[in-house]
Each structure stands twice: as C-alpha cells, then as structure tokens.
Structure 1
Amino acid sequence: MNLHELYADLLDGPLNILMSKEEILRTIETPKFSHQGDLSFPCFQLAKKKKQSPAAIANELAGSLDSPYLLKAEAAGPYVNIFFKGNETGKEIMADILSKGDEFGTHSFGDGKVITIDMSSPNIAKPFSMGHLRSTVIGNSIALLAEKCGFETVKINYIGDWGTQFGKLITAYKKWGDEEKVKANPIPELFSLYKKFHEEAESSPALNDEGRRAFKLLEDGDPEMVELWTWFKKESLSAFEEIYELLGVSFDSYHGESFYNDKMEAAVELIKEKGLLETSDGAEVVWLDDKGLPPSLIKKSDGATLYATRDIAAALYRKKTYDFSQALYVVGQEQTIHFRQVIGVLEKLGMSWAGQMIHIPFGLFLQHGKKMSTRKGRVVLLEEVLKEAIAIAHTNIKQKNPNLENAEETARWVGTGAVIFHDLKNDRMNDIEFSLHDMLTFEGETGPYVQYTHARAHSILRKAASSQQTEFSGLKDPESWELIKILNKYPEAVQDAYLNYSPSIIAKYLLAVSKAFNKYYGKTRILEENEELPSRLLLVKTVTNTLSDGLGLLGIQAPKQM
C-alpha cells in the first residue's frame, strides 16, 4: 500500500476535472512534523482554476474526503492535512511488506537490460588515495541499485595504465630508481619517483620532453619501456586488489586504457571516413562548435593519442561487446567537458546510442579546503584510513562486547562501513572535507550507528526466539505508526536512488529508519507478553531486513552482533 497513492485516489474524485492523478501525486507533500498530519495537499495551484482562495478550497476539500483508512482530514490554511488510522493502515502496509519478503524494495523496470559502469579507475604506479574512494563506492552502490531494479551490470575498472605520465615515471626510474627498493616496497617507491620527477621538472623543464619521448617509445613498443611498464602495472594491480577486498568491491572487467591501443586506429579511421577529422596547429581534431564545445583533440602533433581517442574507442568496443542500454561513467565533475566532447564526437559519427552514455559526476575530497594531489604530495592514502578505521572499531568492540565472536570480522565490517557510509551519505555533487575524526565517529549520522541499530534489533529477536511471529494484527502506539510509514517508503527510496544515481538517498533513508526504530525502542516494552507481541516482533524483523538490505545496497555489511 502506497500512502501517496491512497491520498491521490481520495483527491481524484473531487479534483478529477481540475488536475490529473499524476499532477495530484506530484503535489502531495509529507509534513515536517507528525502533528501536521501524515500527508498534506497544498491548494495554491487550484486557486486560479476555481477562482477561490487556497484556504477556502482546502476547507471544502477537507470536508469531502472519506475512506475506511482515514482518521481525519483538516484544513490548515491553504493545506489539506490528513491523518490515517495507524492501526488499520499499518496492518495493510505490514501485510504488503511481509508478503514480499526478501523481494521488498525490488523493482523490475530494468527488464534484464545491460548497464556498463565505468568506475574506480585508479592510475597504476600511484597509491590508492582517498580521491579514488568516491568513484569506487558511488559506482559500486549504483551497480547494486541497478541490479535491485532489474538491470544486469558490467562493472569496469578502466585502469589508468597509459599516457604521458608513464613516460615521466619510466624516465624518473631510469634516472633515480633502485630496483631492489622498488621490489621491496613498489607503490611507495614508484610514487616517490613520480613526485621527484615533478619537483625536478620545475627547475629543469627539459625533463618533461624526456618524459614525452619515453612515452612515445612505449607507444611504439620499445621492449625496455614495455618491460618496465608491465612490471609497474603488475605491482599496482596487486596492491589495488588488497584495497578492493577490504571494501568488498569486485569488477567484471579490468580493461584499462592500454587495452584499447590496438583499437584506436580503427576509431580514428572511422572519424576520418566521416570527414570529421581536421588539422589544427599540427594536431588532429574534431570541431564541436555547433555543440558549444571546444574541439576534441584526437591526435597530438607528434602523433600520440589522447584520452578522448581512447574513450571513443572504448565506447565503440563496449557497445559492440555488451550492447548496453546505458553506459555510466562515474568520474569526477572536472571531466564534464571531456565527456560532453566524447559523446559529441560519437553523435557526429551517427552513433544513435551516444545518448545512452551518461557521465555521473561527483565532488572532491578536499584537504584543508584544497584538492588532493598526488603530484604535489597532498594525498591521504585510503588503505591507511581503512586500517585505522578497523583498528578503532576493534577497540570499541573489545570495550563494549569483549566476548563477541568473530570480533575481527565485525571490526572490519564496521570500520570499512564507517568510511563508505561517510562518503555515501553526502550528496555526490558536494565536496567533502577530509576529516578522519568525522569519518570514524561511531555516533550520530554514521554507518556504525545504522549497523548498531540493526544489531540491537537482532538482539531483541534472539531474546524472543521462542515467541511465535505469525501474523501482524496491528499496533496502536504512535511510534510504531511512524516507523511503519518510513518502512513503507523503501521501494520508493530504492527507485529514486537509482534514477538519480544518488546512493545518498538510501543512506539518509537508513538513518531515518534507525532514528524511528530507536525512538520506538525507547518508548515501547517490545518483549512484554501480551496480544501485541507477535506484531511488535514482526515489526522488528522488518526493520532488520530493511536495514540489512539497504546497507547492502551501499556495499556495507550488516553485523547481527556488535
């Protein structure tokens, strides 16, 4: 039972000449405070049509509404506020939720269509920084939401394993590198060499030319360059895999930029055949003036390819390989123009599916108000943050529940959950100021708070293991009704989160469920033996199922004990 639909049906009778049901649904609001009603309908837009004041219309409407589920309808100025009968309506809602079981919140509108998701995509030979967390966890959550809505997903880790920066790194290694040091501690050593290159290049700009020449040799297949590059890549992927395992993130494809080296020439030829490739200052470009965009650079004057060349080749390959209905690119907002250019070129090539490519931008992790930068050494390493979060979680667990079984596993779930939730509770377009303290606070609007609420609910169910949980026969207290109303919104939250590519909708929803449950828990003697006990236990069980499922959609585990 959808309460918005129920209210819209009530209003549809008196308003069907003036507004469509869809318009009524869009207009219905949820009041900020429960004393203002369960739902509210503002009458402002009816004033012109009815040539009456909104308050007069509200008064007339309130008197015309009637339903077995309706406790009362009252006019409050220009609003019609309605109050449902919590016991009767709650019974219907819970019957609906319980009948769906594990399928509650699941949608089928994806209809098995394929979605590719380009996500994470760190650069080899650089440590995995907090800057890469956002693409990884936002992309993973969007994939999980897509699957919940009936899509098939292909998660692609488009590793940054090509480009001029690798010529610079190889140059740095050949000048200052120590093979034994790199073998012993690969990523930090390579990262140190990368920083040293840029420091030296500030006073010796000719170094940049050396780096570019080294990359051109790599592109041309020079054996020494290829050997070094292959070694750097192998070490990097091994280090990344440890972090993905901690985060609980997996991929269907690790095809990085280099995978498209032998596919780019065909893409360039296609652009030429369509008469789109023009020379500008020695470089080859596609003009996009008609789309209000700067030209897309396809080849530099020295013949080297660019990001756009590879992304065009990758899009052509992915469409042919996966026949996607959507291709999602979870990449920072600073790449917005780049993706508009890539899509613009594909449109000019006559690819009807170019509009299925969607850039999902997000804000930055900032440090002291500034963008994190590996080049300038202003970086916080994700692995260190995760390990510290897990250590703090372990300490908290030992203090609060020293006899907990699987304490190490639970600490890992809680620690990584804290880091992931801290990111995903924020709107993806917002910048996030990095603060280890805020991330690892285990109270307030945090992942551990939601996890602890889930564990607390499970504790109640364990204590009531002998009680029969059969049929939900209704609850009369206001706290249970407020909780049921929020639980009823889960399918809507899942759909909205997917359609807006916004995991924060789920994170905020889970906080709302947790707060409502803890208020209910604080006001109600849940395990008291009386005729309402089975209904109370079924409500608690529904809370555990919803919190567990919702945390799963964020890529977070839900421990049953903490």
Structure 2
Amino acid sequence: MATLTLTDLEVLLKGLGLNVPIPAFEAADVLSKPLDIGRSYFANILHSLVDGDAKKAYSSILLPGDVFNGDLAVVLPKLKPGSKPGELGPDLLTRFPECQLFNFPFADGVQLRIMFNSRALPRLLFPYIQERKATYGCDPSLGLQNIASPEAGRKKLVIDFSSPNIASEFQGKHLRSTIIGSFISNLHESMGWDVSKINYLGDWGMHIGLLGAGWEKYGSEEQFEADPAGHLLEIYHKINEEFIPAHLESKKIRDAGGDTAEFESKGIFAERNAFCKRLEEGEEKAKSFWRRAREVNIGNYTKLYARLNVNFDEYSGESQVSPATMAEVEEILKSKQICESNEEGLLIDLNKYKGPNEKPLGVAIIRNRIGNTTYLLRELAAVLERHRKYKFDKMIYVVASDLHTTHFPRVFKILKLMGMEDLEAKLQWVSFSESSQMSKQLGEGHMLGDILSQYQTAMEESLKENPDKSALLGDTEKEALEAIGTTALLAQELAARRASHHPFDINQMTSFIGGTGPDLQYWYAKLCSILDPYHATLDLSDEDYATVDGEDQSNLLRYLIQYPDITHTAYNTLESAGIMTYLSSVTAQLSECLGEEETTPTSAEVVLYEITRRVLENGMKVLGITPATK
C-alpha cells in the first residue's frame, strides 16, 4: 500500500516553495496521478488570471503527448470562449506569476504550454513513485462499489475471452482474443475490480458433430494415445475437406431459392447432424467421445496458455449451459410472443423490433430445423447463468468482429425484448479485427504450441545475431529464451490498436528494434544489471539532486510522471497500444540518459533508474509480459 498521504504530499510541496493546501478540483486525483498536482496548480494560476469558472480552467488543460512540446497545455479558446488567442496568450504571459513547480510558459498557436521545473521534478517524483512501488499507475478506487464506503466491496467483472473451438486449429482471432482479454483483465485488477476470467470453449454444436462423424471414420486409438490433440486436428481437417464441397452445394441451392432440406438429409450433412442429435439426446457413446476431446483440449490449452502468462478461473463452454436455463429462455420468448416457428426452426424476426437509429439484425434462429439448440440460444442462457453465479457489475466479451457483427447486437437486443434491460446494460462487446498475416507466416493448421515454438526458434536466432543482448538476457537458459520469445509475440499484438489491420511479421517481432518486446526486455534487464550492486535511498542532498537535473534526465522524468494518466486512458478505452507506445518512449529516453559508455551512477541516478525500472515493470505486468532477467 502507498504510504505517501495527502498531508505528506503537501509537506513535500511546501518544501519545494509551493503554497499549500493543493488547489482543490473535483476532477483531480493527486494521490494517484502526480500530473494532477501540476494540473491543479496550473489551473489555479489560470483561474486567477482569467475571470470565469475554476472547473473550466481545469478542464481546458490537456496533455500534449510529446514531452518535448511541454508537460501541460491550455487551449486558450476553451479557457476563455470568444477570446482571441493572439491577444489572450501574450496577456497571460505578461501576467503569469512565478511558480516553483514550472518553468515559464510559452505560446504555441491556440495553446499555452508549460514544462515542469527540472529542480522540482525529481524531488516530487522520487518519493511519489518509490512509496507506491507496484501500485504506481493503479487506482483501486475505480473498482469500489462506493468510493465513500470502501466496506461496500469491489465491483465484479466477468470477462469472456480466447474461446477456441476444440475441433479445429487455434486461429489468429483466438490468439488476439487471448492477448487482449488478458490485458483487459490485468488492467481491471490493477484498478481494484474483482475479476473472473472465463474461457467459453466452442465445445458443442455442428463443428463438434462434424468432428464426431470424422472420428467414426478416421479415428485411431493408437494415434490418439500418441498425440491426442494433433490426431483430433488431423481428423477434423480430413472430414472438413469432405464437408466443404457439400457445404458449397447447399449454399448454391439456397442462393437459387431452393430448399436445402432434402440435400442436407444425405451424405456428410446427415452424418454430422446425426452425431449432433445423438449428443443432444445424451447418447453415451457420442458423449464419451465428446468428453475425451474436451478434456484433451483443456489440458493442452492450460499448459500452453501458461506460456502466454495467461490463466483462466473457469473453462466453460457451450456444452455446460443447462438445458433447464435454455428452456427458461425459450419460455420467456414464447410467452412474450417474440419468437415464431416455421420450416427453418424456432426463430425471431428482429427486423420487426428495429428502432429508428438501429441497424437491421435480420432473423435470429433459436432452434434449427431438426430441433437442435443454436449458439445464440446457448449464449442467452449462459448470460443468465453467469449473472446468477457471479452477480457481476459488468461482463465483457472479447471477440473478433469478423463473423460476430450481428451476434452480440442480437444477444443484447433479445435480452431487452425479454424485459432484461438492466442485465443487458451490464454487457459489453470489445471487438477487434482478426486481420493479420499469421497463417501466411506460420502456415495453415497451426496449434498454439506450434506458434509459440516458432517464436522461440526465431528468438534464438535473433539473440545469436545480437551477442551483447544475448549475454544480458541469459539466452542459454530455455526458460529465459521462451519468455523473451513470448514477449515478442505479446508486444506485437499489444502495440496494435484493436481495429487495426496489422502485419504479423515474426522476424520483426523477434528483433531488437525500438518498440519490440525483446527491446523492452533488454532495457529492463539492463536497468536490473546496473542497479544490482546499489540500494536506492531518498536521503539525497541538493548536490545529489543536481546530478539528475540535466535535460535528458528531466525528459525521462517527464515521461515517468505521465504513467498513471496513460493507464487511466487505457482503462477508459480498453486499448493496450498507448501503454506499449509509452514504454517504448521511456526506453528510448532511457538510452539517451545512459549513453554509450557505462559509468558509476550517482545516488540520485540510482533512484532515477530504480523508479524507471519500476514503471517499466508495472507497465509490462499490466500488459501480461513477465519481465525477464538473467
């Protein structure tokens, strides 16, 4: 727990020559975000110079983003609407008072920019970050049910991510879901939420029926014993090759306006549907195969997820949804006359319920023509069961936008139609583009283990080409090599915004260019190596502090003070790219401070490097990256 209280902080600021108490603004959180200390003093000065609302003065201040363009900036038209920036800016400059926290501001178009004083920065940030350690950048108050009454407990988040189909290969969309979902989980935990992570496996339905039909044609107990997951994947590919032509023919009939029922009652369609029906009816032979396939995949994935630094609180799946809950959903839909029956099955024509500003959601099928439950029905029932089990305040689905453009909007719409608006309001779909070149780079039919192993191999080659990095990172140890390879994969995915169509370049990912995972690990390991013989102490003299008031050190501190703002922004947007970009900026500035020749650090430099190491570690852990040291 952080021990630097508001009283301690004001004593510290008074020692820097600032007036206390800290100017009070409702939006400021000076105990979690040190940049808010600067915002508060800056806003107070602006308010004293411009007649108007103090709250407006605070809200007109923004973060320039690039420390070389200032630490804080005020948008002049927002500060004083109707004013002429060309007149207001010079007027404020002539009347701006001296403040020990800042250098003198400077005008830049419609903005007035200001930088922290290089003398004040280390004296403020050293104790601030050192006291908070692992909690720097966190804000547990965001996860409280009631900030005024912490005893009321924490908010509950259920997050559903990864969700591969147990019949087929681990696709790019499952990989992205795993990495993004883990990040969102870590971020919410750091902000005080009680988080439960669910892997909702695709372990029921038509693809399982296809796999079951394939097992009865091509299954080998001997091959299954030797390589269970691999043999099941091989079977799925064989049977799917048979199914694709039949599927295309069925689509051709449907597109021509024909009835596909007769065609799908024969051949591979009939075999698949028959196995599904046997499962639905609880036939022991079919269920015995399904249990084996499910257990094999869960056991396999549990080990492989650990290599990605990911764990789940619950392995659920379509199969685990209670028939009684599905019947309950159907009963509500029927009693409210929301659904209807025809030759296609039991369905809801959502176009009838389209709002004025809503996109059409088409026809949603609840049960298909042979009476089997659909993914949609199982999803609706799963929502009810999870809410009853976890009593969540929010549930997030981390699922690709490719084939689910209408699925979640349909789920949300149907819940509203069922009279469950309060429950629907707690659900959030965090979508992402699955577009990447993973298949092109790694080949088709890949399992998660294959992907990770190829990264480990590529990382080994990269380290051979960079012996200086290799020595620091301890590449001779398999665990270290695996950790850095995993970092390369995670960093590439986390550096991209969710909606981006980013490349999947294994060679670039495993290089040591700026912004990559290996480069991030290298700088973290370098700091650990530098700090190893020393102990950081805050008992520093003015002479000690003078060794870190240079331009490069000040710029590094300007980055470090931003970290809590970076994590708060990520919390609001659920985007990891900002944190990755930020960490890359920190390491780039750190390289400027360290230079090319190694020297003995001063006492103040030891503290500077220690708080930098702390910020890098905190950021890496939120992203799901385990810092690797020799």
CA offsets, 1:356-414, max 9 Å, x none? 10000111143389899xxxx84444322312322344455574456949822211211
Q: Distance in 2 between matches of 1:511 and 1:182?
A: 45
CA 1:326/1:48 → structure 2, altered by over 3 Å: closer, same or farther?
Answer: closer
Q: Contact (CA 8 Å) 2:167, 2:207: kept in 1 or not?
A: no
2:529 aligned residue (451, 454, 459): 459
Paired with 1:199 and 1:102, the residues of 2 have a C-alpha distance of 52
Deviation of 1:69 after TM superposition, in Å, equals 1.8
Q: CA deviation at 1:525?
A: 6.8
**Residue 111 of structure 2 corresponds to which residue in structure 1?**
79
Q: SS in structure 1 opposite 2:395?
A: strand
CA distance in 2 between counterparts of 1:457 and 1:479 reads 16
Q: 1:158 deviation in Å?
A: 0.4
The answer to whether residue 295 in structure 2 is matched with residue 234 in structure 1 is yes
How far apart are the structure 2 equivalents of 1:100 and 1:22? Answer: 30
Is this contact kept in 2: 1:125–1:187, CA < 8 A?
Answer: no
Q: Does 1:7 align with 2:42?
A: yes
SS in 2 for 1:429: coil
Q: Which runs of 5+ in 2 are unaligned?
A: 1-33, 145-153, 248-266
Cross-structure match for 1:428 = 498
Q: How far apart are 1:276 and its partner, in Å?
A: 2.0
Shift of 1:550: 1.0
Q: How does 1:266-345 map to 2 (within 5 A)?
A: 266-289=328-351, 290-291=354-355, 292=358, 293-334=361-402, 335-345=404-414
Correspondent of 1:383 among 436, 443, 449 = 449
**1:30-52 CA distance string (max 9 Å, x none):** 16462x433333324567623xx
Counterpart Cα distance in 2 of 1:241 and 1:29: 42
User: Are 2:189 and 1:158 aligned?
Assistant: no
Under a length normalisation based on structure 2, what TM-score does the superposition of the two structures give? Answer: 0.81
- 1:87-124 per-position Cα deviation (integer Å, ceiling 9, x unaligned): 12332233322232332112021111110000111111
Q: Is 1:439 equivalent to 2:509 in the alignment?
A: yes
Question: Following superposition of structure 1 onto structure 2, how do residues 245-256 of structure 1 map, counting pairs within 5 Å?
Answer: 245-256=306-317
Q: Which moved more, 1:362-371 or 1:78-87?
A: 362-371
Cα offset, 1:27, TM superposition: 4.8
2:541 and 2:332 map into 1 onto residues whose CA distance is: 64
2:532 matched to 1:500? no
- 1:212 matched to 2:242? The reply is no
SS at 2:213 equivalent: helix
- Identify which of 553, 557, 562 aligns with 2:626: 557
Which residue identity is paired with 1:286?
I
| Residue 101 to residue 190, structure 1, CA distance change in 2 (3 Å) | closer
Inter-partner Cα distance in structure 2 for 1:149 and 1:469: 27
CA distance in 1, matches of 2:51, 2:478: 60
RMSD: 2.7
Q: 1:194 to 1:274 in 2, by over 3 A?
A: same
Equivalent pair of 1:328/1:357 in contact (CA under 8 Å): yes
Aligned-partner SS, 2:169: coil
Partner of 2:17: none
Q: Distance in 2 between matches of 1:333 and 1:31?
A: 30
- For the 8 Å contact 1:47–1:54, the answer to whether it is kept is no
Structure 2 residue aligned with 1:88: 120
Asked whether the 8 Å contact 1:95–1:472 carries over to 2, the reply is: no
Pairwise mapping of residues 123-272 of structure 1 onto structure 2 (< 5 A)?
A: 123-204=165-246, 206-262=267-323, 263-272=325-334
Question: In the TM superposition, what is the alpha-carbon distance from 1:330 to its structure 2 partner?
Answer: 0.5
Cα offsets for 1:313-341 (capped at 9, x unmatched): 11101111111110000110121321111
Equivalent in 408, 427, 432 of residue 357 of structure 1: 427
What one-letter code is carried by the residue in structure 2 that aligns with 1:140? S
Name the residue aligned to 1:417: 487
Return closer, same or farther for 1:500/1:514 CA change in 2, 3 Å cut-off.
same
Stretch of structure 1 that moved more, 41-50 or 434-443:
41-50
Shift of 1:435: 2.1
Contact persistence 1:451–1:558 (CA under 8 A) = yes
Q: Structure 1 287/21 Cα, relative in aligned 2: closer, same or farther at 3 Å?
A: same
Q: 1:261 to 1:197 in 2, by over 3 A?
A: farther
Q: Provide structure 1 residue ranges, at least 5 long, that are not aligned to the other structure.
A: none
| Cα distance, 1:136 vs structure 2 | 0.7
> Which amino acid in structure 1 is aligned with residue 95 of structure 2?
S
Deviation at 1:28, TM superposition (A): 2.5
The equivalent of 1:490 in structure 2 is 563
Aligned to 1:41: 74
Q: Secondary structure at the match of 1:227?
A: helix
Q: 1:31 and 1:182, CA in 2 relative to 1: closer, same or farther beyond 3 A?
A: closer
Give CA deviations for 1:194-252 in whole Å, capped at 9, x if unaligned.
22223223445631232122211211112221111112112212221221121121111
Q: What residue is the counterpart of 2:606 in the other structure?
A: 537
TM-score w.r.t. the length of structure 1 is 0.90
Structure 1 pair 207–462 and aligned structure 2 pair: CA distance change class (3 A): same
1:274 to partner: Cα distance:
2.9
**How many residues are treated as equivalent by the alignment?**
548
Which one is further off, 391-400 or 177-186? 391-400
CA contact (8 A) 2:206 2:272 kept: yes
Alignment deviations for residues 261-291 of structure 1 (CA, whole Å, 9 cap, x no partner): 4231222122223332223544222343324
1:64 equivalent to 2:98? Answer: no
Task: Tell me if structure 1 keeps the 8 A contact 2:157–2:196.
Answer: yes
Match of 2:616 in 1: 547
Identity, in percent, stands at: 26
